[in-house]
Amino acid sequence: MMRQSLVIANWKLNGNLKLVDDMVSALASARCSADVVICPPAPYLAALETATQRLNIEVGGQNCSVYSNGAYTGEIAAEMLAEVGCKYVLLGHSERRALFAEDDTLIAKKVQLAQQAGLTAVLCVGETLQQREAGKTLDVVKAQLSAVLNDVDFNRLVVAYEPVWAIGTGETATPEQAQEVHAAIRQYVATFNTDAASKLALLYGGSVKPENAEILFAQDDIDGGLIGGASLNTDQFLAICSAVKG
Ligand code: PEP
């Protein structure tokens, strides 16, 4: 079975209604063999969902609550994302782990809630520079995966390998570094479920740009990308989308 080719835009705390319009217009006239998902800040989800209805573009949340409902001011439940048309949600992004103290246990609970709500969870994993330099990359990534993989719906899972040192820094993993970790992730997932591992979409994230996208996406175990900064620029994002192997 062919694996899904996928490019996901993570706008983080950026963008506005104009970017929603500009990005949708640009993507409407683009040729892209990959599936495209845009994860804007939550207030723009509904507008984006409406604008993309006749296009082959999905919408995703950048996070969801570990609670389904209740007195949790500021939180957004997975069911709410699904109700406004989201198909995906990013979970375990390194910014959530580092800035909002999200740990593997919390992330695993969020993955379960997201999947129960019918969303595909995009689980982000990756090592810091210090961990890489200490030779711990694969240990770190496997620990982040194992917290989730024991109780997961593999049909609603995408994994994004995002070395923390490459996110928003302009520094990208080399294609060899990225492929090495992607292959190790696929092998590790196979120890939980061989069939799922062969079908799992594995994305690379970390300063992907039009200039490096094609060589990264050409690697055997890289099925697309999770794009931060470059997803805010229509020309750059379209160029990255069209760099995915079809
Ligand atoms: C990200 O936020 O997931 C990301 C990969 O950001 P950037 O592309 O800006 O490094």
Instruction: Name which of 170, 165, 109, 161 is nearest 138 in CA terms.
Output: 161
What is the spatial distance between Cα 140 and Cα 128, in angstroms, rounded to a whole number? 9
Tens of pLDDT along 68-117?
A: 999 999 999 999 999 999 999 999 999 999 999 999 999 999 999 999 99
Contact call for residues 182 and 137 (beta carbons, < 8 A): no
What is the spatial distance between Cα 143 and Cα 25, in angstroms, rounded to a whole number? 41
The residue whose CA has the least distance to atom 3 of ligand 1 is 228
Average pLDDT for residues 140-165, to the nearest whole number? Answer: 97
182 catalytically annotated = no
What is the spatial distance between Cα 33 and Cα 21, in angstroms, rounded to a whole number? 21
What is the dihedral sign for C-alpha 169, 173, 174, 175? negative
Contact call for residues 81 and 90 (beta carbons, < 8 A): no
162 catalytically annotated = yes
The mean pLDDT of the chain is 96
206 CA → ligand 1 middle, Å:
5
Average pLDDT for residues 111-139, to the nearest whole number? Answer: 98
The pTM for the full model equals 0.97
What is the spatial distance between Cα 153 and Cα 150, in angstroms, rounded to a whole number? 10
Of the candidates 49, 58, 93, 95, the residue annotated as catalytic is 93
Identify the band that residue 1 occupies on the pLDDT scale cut at 50, 70 and 90: low
Tens of pLDDT along 187-234?
A: 999 999 999 999 999 999 999 999 999 999 999 999 999 999 999 999
Please check the confidence at residue 176 and state whether its pLDDT lies above 80: yes
Percent with pLDDT over 90 in the chain = 95
